[in-house]
A and B are shown apart, each in its own frame.
Chain A
Amino acid sequence: MSASNGNGNGNGNRNGSQTGAIRIGFYVCHCGHNIGAVVDCAAVAHYVGTLPGVVLSRDYKYMCSDPGQELIQSDIREHRLNRVVVASCSPLLHEHTFRTAVERGGLNPFYFQMVNIREHNSWVHNDRELATVKAKAQARAAVERVRYHDSLRTTRVPIQPDVLVVGGGISGIHAALTLGNAGKKVFLVEREPSIGGHMAQFDKTFPTLDCAACILTPKMSAVRAHENITLWTYSEVAKVEGYVGNYTVTIRRRPRYVIEDLCVGCLECVGKCIYKEAKFPDDFNVGLSRRKPIYIPFPQAVPQVVLIDPERCLQVKTGKCKKTCLEACADRKAIDFSQQEELVQIKVGTIILATGFKLFDAKRIPQYGYGLYPNVVTSLELERLVTSSGPTSGEIILRDGSKPRTAGFILCVGSRDTRTNRWCSRTCCMHSMKLAQLFKEHTQADVTIFYMDIRAPGKGCEEFYDKSLREGIRFVRGRVAEVTDWALAPEEEGKLVIRVEDTLAGFVRRIPVDMIVLAVGMEPQADSQAMRRLFNLSCSTEGWFLEKHPKLAPVSTFTDGIFIAGCCQGPKDIPDSIAQAGAAAAECLALIDRGYIEQEPNTAHIHEENCSGCKSCLPLCPYTAISFDETVGRARINEALCKGCGTCVASCPSGAIGQHLFEDEQIFKEIEGILA
């Protein structure tokens, strides 16, 4: 903990180092045209210069520039300023910059107040005259407030070096490995029984056409073998408490009815299961194959451990089974029907969310006939068909077992559509071209891609588009209106007919094909809203986790210490997911290796003379920072635990609790200032 803590001599020292009159310096920033075009900055500076206590008032083009900061520092010294107000952009962007400048000028950094006349004014107003009036009122409020500012000091809290990574797809795996390799202890939590995510289901990856399994499985095994990574599959985050540097996370570990440490993945039990035939849909093969109640998700699963589906297993459901699996397992005794759900608590300093995406449900667009016509499949289903480890051992066949001679790929299924998902899913153009090339290679079929726009901006992607064209894949520009099996011409008999406007040719066409592949887009996970609440994040209106800044902080969130990577932030391909995962890991390392978190001194404090000892604040504090001192009959606040939420301040019936940076008189003066 910091040296300034606990005894109150650090914080709350009003005018402690200042003697004499308040001398305020005011600066208004043009921010180029951002503010200057709407607010008359010179007029604001002139007006504020007339306010009592203001000894200096300037307007300047870019206050955040080095000369701008230099100006504040030299003015503090030359004009003996003891308060500084800057009217510019959002405190989120530059409060730290200006506080540092004030500090360098020799003042306590909290004798500073920032006014946001950009987001709160120039960006939302057009009328120059009225915007200027408003800017003056905003500045006046800050000038009134800053008089009552205190000399404060930030506190330092040590950071827990362990990291939690949620989601074991390619992003989560990469983040965990990066952190593990840097020597940090990582908990990798995955909901499914194996890590690998969507990438494990792919056959090849665009644009290089290298085998997805060959590049993914080494990373999966590395996770399993890594001394710094604790891998918990079939587990979910149940509860998150605490704050940056000190999170307490509760993990719910679902029972697999198999002891992970004892199972060696020999699959003897699967062979001996009382169900002689596999009859339950296999999730990994998107329902295209069947599995038994005891199963391993896929051959390269990590961990190489079987699990029992409690919904299907006779023993778990009814308790009346011969338990042939137990016999098969014999001395290893890895099967344990008495396993119960387990809650484990861990302490981590930072969290990376890499919870991924779900695919658009093609049934939501009924005119494409998914679920109605058996030979209309999704891109992921084709991916499983084309993989040698898939249900058909890599053979692309129609439902009747015959080989397709023609195929149509429909792009943007569910994407770029205001009625379903507005966004572009970014990967489907390339993904479909990859599948189309594989389709042609496997079947020599005539393949047509129906697209609205081909988006191939990634590295090597335009070249891949060219390769597709040269390999004879047909491209028809037009969004398919409907798929039907109603033949109007002899060549359409027994086929699926795509009705589409060939927009480049300028007429409507009917194109018969054997198989239709729907390039379904990406969507936020079904429980993304619950996750958002669990981790206290923001979501975009679509449900993607919101980054702190779309350009400058793309993996940070508004909750300090929680980072996002991969498709939970928005659709992206594998290279982008990995780049984000690496960035998120680096952000964690930056926090961990500094060793401490600097906390805003916005803690609450008790005016003992007013405290009646009613204890009503005690149960309200979410951080259990308030205790009761029996000897004097007063409440006490532990500044190290206080997060400055203000709940106790508002609730105290005696008005005995104050809060640094938000003292009553500061707020009242600010209100008076803006209304004056």
Chain B
Amino acid sequence: MKSIKRTIKYDADRVQGFGREIMGVTGCEQLPSCIQCGTCSGACPLSIYMDFSPRQVMALVRADFKREVLSSNTIWLCASCYGCTVECPRQIRITDIMYALKQRAIREGVYPKGMPIPVLAREFTRMVLSKGRITETLLVMRLFLKANWRAVLSSWRLGLGLIQTGRFVLKPERIERREELAAMLATVSVTRHAARAAKGRHHATPEQLIAEEVP
């Protein structure tokens, strides 16, 4: 039997001020102009898989439904194609709002754990910071292992083909003089810490936040 769930929302379900915080992020200022026309959802190539359509996300943010937004798969399915942003009749930078929500979800640790997209973001940054560039094959392997290792098994045929055509290189790529990159990053992170201490943490990108975690 299908379970019946309570769907009513009380005012206590809202996190007052959340909408205003998101609108305060650079690029998200146009959000108050949203007229809920649904062009973003119609233009989105991935909205057909989303639990909330982009339009609904806009409405939820504006109405301070923080938990619902940050736990939705919509913000992670966004492929940053900017189709919605281009077509929005109110010139709302919907993709930027999606980024702001992703940052917020990572910062608060509320994103869906098995979701490959945040894992990809983290692994990508980690590899760039330590090696100076990424090795796609290794990145994909790590993504599979951390997000969904069973998927490796189902993709063996693709992998074999890639190895045979020489597209699957296991040798890690790295830049020379990595110690200089490390020194550079160290100065950046020092200034960033100082800046963040002064400003609060509101405008940190996921990469910045991950950079803090990486020793």
> Whose C-beta in chain A lies nearest to the C-beta of B52?
A506
**Residue contact A418 to B90, C-beta cutoff 8 Å:** yes
User: With A and B bound together, what is the CA distance between A412 and B44 in angstroms?
Assistant: 20
A276 proximity list for chain B (CB < 8 A): none
Contact partners of A501 in chain B: CB under 8 A: 38-42, 47, 53, 55
Closest to B84 in A: A481
| Residues in chain B near residue A503, CB distance under 8 A | 36-38, 41, 55
Instruction: Report Cα–Cα, A30/B43, bound state, in Å.
Output: 53
A interface residues with partner B (beta carbon < 8 Å) = 367, 412, 416-419, 452-453, 477-482, 499-503, 506-508
Determine the distance from Cα of A321 to Cα of B43 in the docked complex, in whole angstroms.
56
Are A367 and B87 touching (Cβ within 8 A)? yes
Q: How far is the CB of B7 from chain A (nearest CB, A)?
A: 12
Out of B35, B36, B42, B48, which one reaches A500, CB within 8 Å?
A: B42
Which residues in A have their C-beta under 8 angstroms from that of B35? 416, 452-453
Q: For the complex, what is the distance from the CA of A412 to the CA of B35, rounded to whole Å?
A: 13
Bound-complex Cα distance A453 to B35 (A): 9
A478 near B89 with CB under 8 A, answer no
Quote the shortest CB–CB distance from A57 to chain B (angstroms). Answer: 45
B80 is an interface residue with CB less than 8 A from chain A: no
Q: How far is the CB of A202 from chain B (nearest CB, A)?
A: 27
8 contacts between A and B (CB under 8 A): A412-B89, A481-B41, A481-B43, A482-B42, A499-B42, A500-B42, A501-B41, A506-B53
Whole-angstrom distance between the alpha carbons of A123 and B99 in the complex? 38
Is the Cβ of B47 less than 8 Å from the Cβ of A452?
no
Distance in Å: Cβ of B173 to nearest Cβ of chain A: 40
Which single member of A416, A418, A419, A500 contacts B38 (CB below 8 Å)? A500
- Provide the bound-state CA to CA distance between A499 and B40, in Å: 11
**Distance of A22 Cα from B171 Cα, bound (Å):** 97
Question: Does residue B56 face the partner (Cβ distance < 8 Å to A)?
Answer: yes
Task: Name which residue of chain A comes closest to B37, CB basis.
Answer: A479
Residues of B with C-beta under 8 A to A508: 41-42, 44, 47-48, 53
Set of chain A residues within 8 Å of B39, measured between Cβ atoms = 479-481, 501
Q: Which residues of the partner chain B approach A412 to less than 8 Å between Cβ atoms?
A: 89
Q: Across the interface, do B90 and A479 meet the contact criterion of CB distance under 8 Å? A: no
Q: What secondary structure prevails in chain A residues at the interface with B? A: loop
A416 to B87, CA, bound (A): 13
B residues with CB within 8 A of A: 33, 35-44, 47-48, 53, 55-56, 87, 89-91
B37 adjacent to A482 (CB under 8 Å): no
**Most A CB atoms within 10 A — which of B36, B42, B44?**
B42
Which residues from A are CB-within-8-Å of B87? 367, 481
Distance from A51 Cβ to chain B, minimum over Cβ atoms (Å): 47
Docked complex Cα distance between A480 and B38 (Å): 8
Indicate whether A419 sits within 8 Å of B89 (C-beta atoms), given known contacts A452-B35, A501-B41.
yes
Given A501-B38, A501-B41, A508-B42: A419 in contact with B55 (beta carbons within 8 A): no
B89 A479 Cβ-Cβ under 8 A? yes
With A501-B47, A502-B38 known, 15 other A-B pairs at CB within 8 A are A418-B90, A419-B89, A419-B91, A477-B38, A479-B37, A479-B39, A481-B38, A499-B42, A501-B42, A503-B41, A508-B41, A508-B42, A508-B44, A508-B47, A508-B53
Which residues of A lie under 8 Å from residue B48 when comparing CB positions? 508
Query: Judging by beta carbons under 8 Å apart, are A479 and B42 in contact?
Result: yes
Which residue of B has the minimal Cβ distance to A417? Answer: B89
Which residue on chain A has the smallest CB distance to residue B56?
A: A506
Minimal beta-carbon separation of B56 from chain A (angstroms): 7
Contact of A482 among B43, B47, B90 (CB under 8 A): B43
How far apart are the CA atoms of A417 and B37 in the complex, in Å? Answer: 11
What is the chain A residue whose CB lies nearest that of B43? Answer: A481
Q: Name the B residues within 8 Å of A453 (CB-CB).
A: 35
Are B55 and A416 closer than 8 Å at their CB atoms? no
CA distance A502 to B53 in the complex (A): 10
Q: How far is the CA of A417 from the CA of B43 in the complex (A)?
A: 16
Contact of B42 among A416, A481, A506 (CB under 8 A): A481
Closest to A500 in B: B42
A478 close to B90 (CB less than 8 A): no
Chain B residues with CB below 8 A from A507, complex form: 53
Asked if residues B38 and A478 are in contact (CB atoms below 8 Å), the reply is yes
Q: How far is the CA of A419 from the CA of B39 in the complex (A)?
A: 14
CA distance A22 to B35 in the complex (A): 61
Task: Report how far A508 CA is from B40 CA in the complex, Å.
Answer: 10
Instruction: Name the CB-closest residue of B to A478.
Output: B38
Q: Which residue of B lies closest to A498 (CB)?
A: B42
Closest beta carbon of chain A to B148's beta carbon, Å: 27
Chain A residues with CB under 8 Å of B36's CB are 503
The CA-CA distance from A480 to B44 in the complex, in Å, is: 12
Residues from chain A with Cβ under 8 Å of B90 in the complex: 418
Point out the residue from B37, B42, B43, B91 that lies within 8 Å of A418, measured CB to CB: B91
CB B116 to nearest CB in A, in angstroms, measures 23
B198 shortest CB reach to chain A, Å: 27
CA distance A481 to B55 in the complex (A): 13
* Bound form: Cα–Cα A21–B185 in Å: 80
A161 to chain B, nearest CB (A): 49
